[in-house]
Amino acid sequence: MPNQPRLKSVAPPFEAKFSASGALRQGIGESGRAHVDRWLPFLILHRSDDPLSSLARRIAIDSPAYVVWSESDDPEALSAIDAVASAMVNRHGRLLVVTLDDQPLQAAREGSQELPPFVARLAAGDQGHVGRAASILDRALHGVEIDLRHCKVERVPFHPVLPEPFDRLLNGIEGVDRLALRVPQIHRRFDGVDYPGVRHDLAAAFGDALLRTACAFLDDGKTEVPKHYRSLGRSGYIAAALKADKRLDHVARSFDFLLSISPIDTAKAFDRFVATGEGDLPHFHYRPLTVDPDAAKRELYSIDLDTLEDPMLEQLMGEKRREIDAQLTMLATRNTPAFMPASMFLYGTVEAELLADAETILAASSKDPPRGNVVRAMEIASAADALAANYRLANPDFKADIQVRDDIAGLLVSGDKLYIGSDTLMPAHRLDALLAHEVSVHLLTYFNGAAQGLSIFRTGLAGYEGIQEGLGVFAEWATGGLTRTRLRLLAARVIAVQAMLTGATFLDVYRLLRKEHGFSRRGAFGISARVFRSGGLAKDAIYLRGFRDVMTLVRAGASLEPFWLGKIAVRHAGAIEELLQRGLVQAPRFIPSFLSDKGAAARIAGVGKANNFQEMLAGA
């Protein structure tokens, strides 16, 4: 590489203020910036005349190490690249510098259906470390599929993309290897109209390919290579991510969703229902809303997720925003015909396989015979507090707020609170299983999530409720407390939700449970009240569905540890693995105590021998 003299900048030298870990974030001019997450062996460069519309700039600032600027002859940018690149070379001995540029939009005839070409242009040498890195980037880009189109890669000889002073500067730094990438513009029409979904997918895919490239550059047989290339991604949250998370959490915590849609007088409504001969539709009373749904939505969509500089966090927070939006829609339509379809959007319908399993359970099992003593609300609260105290021995942060209340039916966890209805009564032999569900799953994942740095992990990633309730039922099963009566209850909820979604009334469902499935008056009423609360809630099907999902994971030998880390959905397991690799989330502080029980371990070990869900249950 030519060793030419450095260009002397006419601007004051850029003073790169690296922390001990190599972190740096400093502005350059009006719209430029240098950002380095930590000491890394690569640096992304991009100069753009139009920072707001440039996809290459978006890819650059989503990376963990970049310098972006606007003016072609900006002496401050020149000085910044000199300072940053030199410091990184001094740290690692060598540095891969990737220059990103946007492909120019090509003109098309008016009214044409022709799509912009999905071709990336890669310029690099093909020898040594940079040659290996370029080959990996070529292969990674070939694997990118957006909108049913596959990316093609055109290899071109390396040529200076940057203005001459910048090119000469980089040529003069020993240890710098370079490649240049021109990014296709399939996210824009020929007339410049933007497709934001395609833009997001492109930015994420190309950013991922660049991390693979950096990892390949490191692999010289001498340097320690990360176990996973994504561990080279960001290891810290920028201020914009923390701010967005805080604002999302503020909206989510401005209302208690489950309390808001649950009746406050279920027990009294049951007494009235029986007294009137079980022939009149019951009337329930609800708490006044503590939030204006429309005002909350305005606040929700004023949160700018484009500034996060992290596609993974943008995806997770975007999903959560849509879920909160759906909850607010349900609150706005409470006790109206629109509530039920809104709940279907959030919780789905009842799939045929789940319905078949529920029907099989109800047909094959009868209620358990009466067994001994019962426990009441205050005894349940005392036992829950004792279990929480055991977790506090491991870490004092397990500060559960356990309340006995008159306006709650049964048990309900919301955040760090466990609510117990004052009229709750249950068999004593079910107590450990119930506490494993409520304390060792729901409260435990809340406190683990609260330790992760972003509140979204304790509030819950979008769609977490299904696996969360499935883990709760799994806890009951693992402790040997998933009785036939309890299993019948979960199956009956599925039957009730299906009936409600296909047009059955409250009285239809109540009579179905009484006459065809043998439930008591109180039992049938309780299930029907849950399913028809606020106008029709599809949520109750998720308990059995989630349990099946957890048992399927266990049967396949999958680890459940990611699900203890916070409140996440099955589809987020890969995202959690990436965030663990990047050090953005930590292993769970608390592990459910029931997992260390020998009986639970034996039950879990036996799941792998089952051929289907029914065999898993038969082995319980």
pLDDT in tens, 248-270: 999 999 999 989 999 999 989 99
Six token digits for residue 427: 């068999």
Would 223 be classed as within a structural domain?
Answer: yes
pLDDT band at 159, cuts 50/70/90? confident
Q: What percent of the chain has pLDDT over 90?
A: 74
Would 614 be classed as within a structural domain?
Answer: no
Q: Give how many domains the chain has, as a whole number.
A: 1
Pairwise CA distance, residues 1 & 349, whole Å = 63
Residue 516 sits at φ, ψ, to 5 deg, of -90, -25
Would 31 be classed as within a structural domain?
Answer: yes
Whether residue 1 is predicted with pLDDT greater than 60 in this model: the reply is: no
Average pLDDT, rounded, for the chain? 91
Would 554 be classed as within a structural domain?
Answer: no
pTM: 0.88
Residue bearing the bigger pLDDT, 254 or 616 = 254
Would 131 be classed as within a structural domain?
Answer: yes
Q: Domain of 180?
A: 24-233
Select from 119, 121, 45 the least CA-distant residue to 80. Answer: 45
206: domain CATH number is 3.40.630
Select from 295, 303, 380, 306 the least CA-distant residue to 332. Answer: 295
pLDDT band at 594, cuts 50/70/90? very high
Give residue-wise pLDDT tens across range 501-559: 999 999 999 999 999 999 999 999 999 999 999 999 999 999 999 999 999 999 999 99
Would 66 be classed as within a structural domain?
Answer: yes
Would 383 be classed as within a structural domain?
Answer: no
Would 514 be classed as within a structural domain?
Answer: no
Average pLDDT of the residues in 43-68: 93
Give residue-wise pLDDT tens across range 166-183: 999 999 999 999 999 999
Give residue-wise pLDDT tens across range 95-147: 999 999 999 887 655 656 677 889 999 998 767 788 899 999 999 999 999 98
